[in-house]
Structure 1
Amino acid sequence: MIVTLKNKEISASINSFGAELVSLSKGETNYIWKIDTKYWNKTSPVLFPIVGRLKNDSYTYNEKDYALSRHGFARDHEFKVIHQTETKAIFSFSSNEDTLKTYPFDFELQISYTIIEDKVIISYKVINKNEVEMPFSIGAHPAFTIDKNFTDYTLVFNSKEHFESHVLENDLFSGKTKNILSSKNTIPLFYDLFTEDALVFKQLKSSVITLEYLNKPFLKINFEGFPYLGIWTKEKAPFICIEPWFGLADNHNSSGKIIEKEGIEIIASNSKFDCQFSIELF
Structure 2
Amino acid sequence: MDYQVLENNELRVEILSKGAELKSIRSKKDGTEYLWQANDEFWGRHAPILFPIVGKLKDDRYSLDGQTYAMSQHGFARDRVFSITEKQSNSIALTLADDEASFHIYPFKFELTIEYKLIGNRLIVSYLIKNLDAKKPMYFAIGAHPGFNLPLDDRTSFDDYFLEFSPKRTRKFIPVTEEVLLKYDEKKDVTDSIYPLTRELFADGVLIWETMEPTRIELKSNKTRKSVVLEYSKMPYLGIWSTYPQEAGFICIEPWCGIADTYDSNGKYDEKLGVNTLPPETNFQSSYQMTFI
Which residue among 115, 120, 140 is the counterpart of 1:117? 120
TM-score, structure 2 normalization: 0.92
Deviation, structure 1 residue 254: 0.7
CA apart distance, 1:161: 3.2
Structure 2: state its 5+ residue gaps: none
SS of corresponding position for 2:270? helix
Q: Aligned partner of 1:225: which letter?
A: K
Deviations 1:101-137 (A, max 9, x none): 0000010000010000110000000110012110000
Q: Name the residue aligned to 1:172.
A: 181
The letter for the 2-side match of 1:247 is: G
The residue aligned with 1:58 is: 61
- 1:9 aligned partner: 10
- Give the residue type in structure 2 aligned to 1:138: I
Mapped pair 1:207 → 2:215: yes
How large is the RMSD of aligned CA atoms in angstroms? 1.6
Q: 1:161, 1:205 within 8 Å by CA — same for their partners in 2?
A: no
**Contact 1:161 1:204 (C-alpha < 8 Å) held by counterparts:** no
- Aligned pair count reads 280
- Give the conservation status (yes or no) of the 8 Å contact 1:20–1:44: yes
SS at match of 1:218: strand
Which of residues 212, 225, 232 in structure 1 aligns to 2:241? 232
Aligned match of 2:270:
259
Distance 1:83 1:114, change over 3 A: same
- Look up the match of 2:143: 139
**TM-score normalized by the length of structure 1:** 0.95
Residues 161, 206 of structure 1: 8 Å contact kept: no
Taking the aligned partners of 2:285 and 2:131, their CA distance within structure 1 comes to: 12
User: How far does the alpha carbon of each residue in 1:19-40 deviate from its partner, in whole angstroms, 9 at most, with x for none?
Assistant: 0001111131111011111100
Alpha-carbon distance in structure 2 between the residues aligned to 1:214 and 1:22: 28
- The CA deviation string for residues 151-175 of structure 1, in whole angstroms up to 9 with x for no partner, is 1101111211345531111121133
* Letter of the 1:232 counterpart: W
Equivalent residue letter for 1:129:
L
- Letter of the aligned partner of 1:94 in structure 2? A
Q: Please state whether the residue corresponding to 2:43 is helix, strand or coil.
A: coil
Alpha-carbon deviations, 1:52-88, whole Å to 9, x = none?
Answer: 0001111111111111111000000000011112211
Aligned-partner SS, 2:53: coil
Alpha-carbon distance in structure 2 between the residues aligned to 1:176 and 1:217? 36
Contact 1:157 1:206 in 2 (8 A): no
Q: Secondary structure, in 3 states, of the residue corresponding to 1:266?
A: strand
1:149 paired to 2:157: yes
1:178 CA drift (Å):
6.5
Aligned AA (2:186): K
**Deviation >6 Å, runs of 4+:** 178-181
Any conservation in 1 of the 2:173–2:190 contact (CA below 8 Å)? yes
